[in-house]
């Protein structure tokens, strides 16, 4: 009876995670995954139904880690503005792009019900967390009353995702850094004016 350690399975997932990030889904072949994991074809088709199934498992793992890291930025006990700044200004491997966001450039991913769902669900989670932080700030009168949490949350998410796009287009992290700093500056302007 097999021990449920799943080492080979884990290696497959790990290799897939790396390759998906580096090359995307369509451009990642089972062959490449197997080579990197040091496994044969049989292992893959034993543990998973095929490429799509393996990719889904890998993406769920990646999403989990990404959400955990975001949670760290957003869960501090500072003001809402400080927590949003922490999220925006966090160190990132800019030129590699967002391991989840980049999947949206791959038509095959969006055409796969499972894969598309993982991507959509990840951003839904992210959005929910950011909305919550902004609402916190509203409750504490940190922001101007005109601020719409749902809109601002997507703006924040978009600046990060778009920053990756600009940086990769330029082959230089600078556009990302400018974009998030510009966003932080605008956020400061949405603070509640002192009424005295």
Q: Which of 105, 139, 140, 141 binds a copy of itself (CB under 8 A)?
A: 105
Rounded CA-CA distance 127/154 in Å is 7
- 8 A C-beta contact, residue 69 and residue 129: no
Q: Is 56 in the site for a copy of itself (CB under 8 A)?
A: no
Cβ nearer to a copy of itself, comparing 39 with 137: 137
Backbone φ and ψ of 113, nearest 5°: -55, -50
- 8 A C-beta contact, residue 120 and residue 112: no
Q: Which does 181 bind (CB under 5 to 8 A by kind): a copy of itself, DNA, none?
A: a copy of itself
Q: Is 62 in the site for a copy of itself (CB under 8 A)?
A: no
Backbone φ and ψ of 182, nearest 5°: -60, -40
Of 4-12, 61-69, 114-122, 124-132: span binding DNA (CB under 7 A): 4-12
Neighbouring CB atoms inside 10 A of 129's CB total 18
H-state helical runs in the chain: 7-23, 30-37, 41-47, 51-74, 80-89, 107-111, 113-139, 149-170, 174-189
Cβ nearer to a copy of itself, comparing 47 with 166: 166
Q: Is 170 in the site for a copy of itself (CB under 8 A)?
A: yes
Q: Is 78 in the site for DNA (CB under 7 A)?
A: no
Q: Which of 33, 119, 130, 133 binds a copy of itself (CB under 8 A)?
A: 119
Residues of 111-124 as b/e, b for ≥16 C-beta within 10 angstroms? ebeebeebbeebbe
Q: Is 46 in the site for DNA (CB under 7 A)?
A: yes
Q: Which of 8, 11, 24, 36 binds a copy of itself (CB under 8 A)?
A: 24
Backbone φ and ψ of 143, nearest 5°: -105, 160
Q: Nearest approach, Cβ of 46 to DNA (angstroms)?
A: 3
Residues in the chain: 196
Neighbouring CB atoms inside 10 A of 38's CB total 11
Q: Is 108 in the site for a copy of itself (CB under 8 A)?
A: yes
> Where do contacts with a copy of itself occur on this chain (CB under 8 A)?
22-24, 26-27, 97, 100-108, 110, 116, 119-120, 122-124, 127, 144, 146-148, 150-166, 168-171, 175-176, 178-183, 185-187, 189-190
> Where do contacts with DNA occur on this chain (CB under 7 A)?
1-2, 7-9, 26, 28-32, 38-43, 45-47, 50-52
């Amino acid at each position: 009876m097999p021990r449920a350690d799943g080492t080979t399975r884990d290696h497959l997932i790990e290799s897939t995670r790396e390759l998906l990030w580096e090359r995307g889904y369509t451009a990642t072949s089972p062959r490449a995954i197997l080579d990197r994991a040091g496994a044969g074809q049989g292992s893959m088709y034993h543990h998973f139904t095929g490429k799509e199934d393996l990719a889904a498992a890998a993406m769920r793992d990646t999403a989990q880690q990404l959400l955990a890291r975001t949670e760290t930025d957003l869960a501090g006990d500072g003001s809402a503005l400080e927590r949003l700044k922490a999220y925006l200004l966090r160190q990132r491997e800019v030129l590699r792009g967002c391991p989840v966001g980049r999947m949206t450039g791959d038509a095959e991913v969006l055409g796969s019900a499972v894969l598309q769902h993982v991507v959509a669900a990840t951003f839904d989670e992210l959005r929910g967390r950011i909305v919550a932080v902004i609402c916190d700030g509203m409750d504490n009168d940190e922001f101007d009353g005109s601020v719409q949490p749902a809109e601002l949350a997507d703006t924040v998410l978009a600046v990060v995702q778009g920053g990756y796009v600009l940086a990769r287009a330029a082959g230089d992290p600078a556009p990302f850094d400018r974009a998030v700093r510009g966003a932080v500056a605008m956020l400061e302007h949405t603070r509640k004016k002192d009424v005295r």
